[in-house]
Chain A
């Protein structure tokens, strides 16, 4: 009854345009944070899996990759893998390295928007001398009998959405075609970047073999979580918005079953098959860990319905490139530097982006994976993007 009254009260305030924000004190916020042991946190680490035994339910993808490799031996076709961040693409590559002969994995952590950096990265990984200063020279320098596999992750890091920002990516695609008889190229790309590059530059036409990686099914995510909870007893707390149609009171076991179902329903509606997001949700839901008992409570994330156009466009720019520095955001959005920085600061306060600090001191901003699907929904509803997974 009180919940109904509160919801009607909120609607009336909204109709009368009355803003009532409840300010929390800093002490109150700190008291609400939960201390999770480091050992338990490591179980839900988001680093790619290296052990094939930990890779769940990806046998069909592994078979497709193996088939693409066999096809390459005949027809020299590079392979493109399109996947959302956090869905397990790197884990699949790591766990299937035994398929390939002479595997090299190039992870583009820092934005290689300039040709010189790309050339240096390729020379380092192909162990070539410094004398080669262009992609065509590198292509000629490769051994004729060479048969290697190169996994080039996050190829979207090679372009910057500005005038003359596609040349490095285009040159790299030409380099792939020039060397595909010697190198089995496995290119991975973020699905939102793929959508943009495909619509504007016909990116997909460069690859005859394409694998679109989907999320895991509900039971697979549950299994992955159960494996990581081995040795712990999970206790589900009453959800924030708990509705039941049962008139008579339930026993504790029945309550636990209901609350568990509601927890997984809530978690899966947020993660939508993305295992990394599911893990983040799990850790955020932990209220207490005591005596090998993990107490969890389901929650609903913030819908972020009041975002401005500039904020949404900034998030979109960051997501298209996986991460961007403040200077790059300014170039992409054609904003002033100050406006860009202010927008970034505001997005960080709302925990929608977080900074990535590199060894060379540079900082790039990356989307908070936990809010990825909420943000994609906003792209669809507010920016009219017809992006479909």
Chain B
């Protein structure tokens, strides 16, 4: 075969290869197109089916299944019976009586408890603060036990039920009853952390008085003008509390007396000291301290501070008044009060 023939053959082979290649590519392209077309067709079909189903569903909603009157009546009766059964399971006659008896018992028990504590306080005056400390703790325990008994009587509680209830109600309670919960947790903090106890004289914001009751939600203090102030426990826990006696029967009383700037300090000291030690309300076991300070705020004056302990915190103001009265009388008799200060004369 000559080179020309070979070349022509080669050219023919190349063209045939190219034609084959082109046809293959074209076939592949056609296949791709076919595949794409098929996918499109499938999606169109799915969309059509979905739409058909949606239409069907709408048709079903709009047109509920028509039941017969008998079927409706039967269903209603079944629902009512089911509800009544549940209701009577919870509130049967016996459980109502049980709840009623528990509530009466708790009420009477708390009344007897109050009387018993009053009797103990009257009999053992020296230990009254220790006795009163126990009272709110016992009351809280009684309420907790009573609540548990009530709930247990009405509902058949299991661990799963409790968990389910707590889970579903946590969010609701968190928003709806957060203030009440704050107060309750504050009350528990006060009971167990004990920044103060019943019988203590405390200052909360502008309220000063004796703590009469520590409840779960509020604390009651009796102010010096015999007003009963109820303070939410959350307010107490978030504020600073000043405690005058911290569980002790006695407390320090500071008596402020004002004298002219140029007094005889020795005489004044003796009178101030004896005014305190001769008071019937003095706790003689604790020291009496006399301090002198000069003041020039409005007019020159000497402030005499008598720091002494009263035998019982309940007589705090009586002691202060008694000492003030005796001191003023003695200062006057000793001519320590002058009509005009010698400095103002200048």
Taking Cβ atoms with an 8 Å cutoff, the residues of A that contact B are: 14-15, 161-166, 195-196, 199-201, 305, 313, 316-317, 332-334, 380-386
Q: How far is the CA of A380 from the CA of B275 in the complex (A)?
A: 23
Most buried by A among B250, B280, B311, B326: B280
A163 lies within 8 A of B126 (CB) = no
Q: Top 6 closest A-B pairs, CB basis?
A: A199-B284, A200-B277, A163-B330, A163-B274, A313-B280, A161-B278
In the complex, residue of chain B having the shortest beta-carbon distance to the beta carbon of A200: B277
**Chain B positions 320 through 338: 1 when the CB is less than 8 Å from some CB of chain A, otherwise 0:** 0010011101100000000
> Residues of A contacting B275 with CB < 8 Å?
163
Q: B109 within 8 Å of A by Cβ? A: no
Looking at A164, A165, A316, A332, the one whose CB has the most chain B CB atoms below 10 A away is A164
Smallest beta-carbon distance B306→chain A, Å: 12
Does B312 lie within 8 Å of A384, measured CB to CB?
yes
| A384 contacts B277, C-beta separation under 8 Å | no
Contact A383–B330 (Cβ < 8 Å)? no
Q: Which residues of A contact B327 (CB under 8 A)?
A: 163
Q: Is the CB of A334 within 8 A of B274?
A: no
Measured CA separation A334–B280 after assembly (Å) = 9
**Which of B250, B278, B285, B325 meets A165, CB within 8 Å?**
B278
* List of B residues within 8 angstroms of A333 by Cβ: 280
A381 near B274: Cβ-Cβ < 8 Å: no
Min Cβ gap B268→A in Å is: 12
Give the residue of B125, B285, B288 whose beta carbon is less than 8 angstroms from that of A386.
B285
B280, A384: Cβ atoms closer than 8 Å: no
List A contacts of B312 (CB < 8 A).
383-384
Chain B residues closer than 8 Å to A201, beta-carbon distance: 277
User: Is the pair B115, A384 in contact by a Cβ cutoff of 8 Å?
Assistant: no
Instruction: Indicate whether A317 sits within 8 Å of B283 (C-beta atoms), given known contacts A381-B126, A382-B125.
Output: no
User: Which of A15, A162, A199, A383 is B115 in contact with, Cβ under 8 Å?
Assistant: A15
In chain B, positions 256-276 with a C-beta closer than 8 Å to chain A are 271, 274-275
Tell me which of A14, A381, A384 contacts B311 (CB under 8 A): A384
A201 vs B273: C-alpha distance in the bound complex, in angstroms? 10
Asked if A163 contacts B283 (CB within 8 A), the reply is no
Q: Which residue of B lies closest to A159 (CB)?
A: B278
CB atoms of B126 and A199 under 8 A apart? no
Q: Is the CB of B250 within 8 A of A384?
A: yes
Q: Is the interface of A mostly helix, strand, loop or mixed?
A: helix
Are the C-beta atoms of A381 and B249 separated by less than 8 Å?
A: no
Whether B285 pairs with A199 at a CB distance below 8 angstroms is: yes
Q: Which of B277, B322, B330 contacts A164 (CB 8 A)?
A: B330
How long is the Cα–Cα vector from A382 to B325 in the complex, in angstroms?
25
- Contacting pair B284 A163 (CB below 8 A): no
CB distance from A84 to the nearest CB of B (A): 18
Whether the Cβ atoms of B274 and A164 lie closer than 8 Å is: yes
Q: State whether the Cβ of B124 lies closer than 8 Å to any Cβ in chain A.
A: yes
Q: Are A384 and B278 in contact (CB under 8 A)?
A: no
In contact, B311 and A383 (Cβ under 8 angstroms): yes
Chain B residues within an 8 Å CB radius of A334: 280, 322, 325-326
12 residue pairs from A and B, CB less than 8 Å apart:
A163-B326, A164-B271, A200-B284, A200-B288, A316-B280, A317-B280, A334-B280, A383-B311, A384-B125, A384-B311, A385-B284, A385-B311
CB distance from A167 to the nearest CB of B (A): 10
Which residues on A sit within 8 Å (CB–CB) of B284? 195-196, 199-200, 385
Whether A384 pairs with B283 at a CB distance below 8 angstroms is yes
CA distance A161 to B326 in the complex (A): 12
Write the nearest CB–CB distance from B42 to chain A, whole angstroms.
92
| Neighbouring B residues of A196 by C-beta, 8 Å | 284
Q: Which chain A residues border B123 with CB–CB below 8 Å?
A: 305
A384 proximity list for chain B (CB < 8 A):
125-126, 249-250, 283, 311-312
A248 to B335, CA, bound (A): 80
Q: Which residue of B lies closest to A316 (CB)?
A: B280
Residues in A whose Cβ lies below 8 Å from that of B280: 313, 316-317, 332-334
A385 — which chain B residues lie within 8 A by C-beta? 284, 311
Q: Residues of B contacting A195 with CB < 8 Å?
A: 284
Nearest CB in chain A to that of B280: its residue: A313
When chains A and B are docked, how far (Å) is the Cα of A316 from the Cα of B282?
12
B residues near A305, Cβ cutoff 8 Å: 123
The residues of B that contact A386 with a CB separation of less than 8 Å are: 285
Chain B nearest CB, measured from A148 CB (Å): 34
New contact pairs (15) apart from A163-B330, A334-B280, A384-B312, CB-CB < 8 Å: A14-B119, A162-B326, A163-B274, A163-B278, A163-B326, A196-B284, A199-B285, A200-B277, A316-B280, A317-B280, A380-B126, A381-B124, A382-B125, A383-B312, A385-B311
B285 contacts which chain A residues (CB < 8 A)? Answer: 199, 386
CA distance A196 to B280 in the complex (A): 11
Report if A163-B115 is in contact (Cβ < 8 Å); known contacts: A200-B284, A384-B126, A384-B250: no
Find the A residue at minimum CB distance from B115: A15
| B279 to A: closest C-beta gap in Å | 8
**For B275, B285, B326, which residue has the most chain A Cβ atoms within 10 angstroms?**
B285
Q: Given the complex, which residues of B lie within 8 Å of A166, measured CB to CB?
A: 274
How many Å lie between the Cα of A382 and that of B322 in the bound state?
20
Interface string of B110-134 (1 = CB under 8 A from A): 0000010001000111100000000
* Complex Cα gap A162–B278 (Å): 5
- Nearest CB in chain A to that of B318: its residue: A309
Most interface-central of B271, B274, B283, B330 (chain A CB within 10 A)? B274
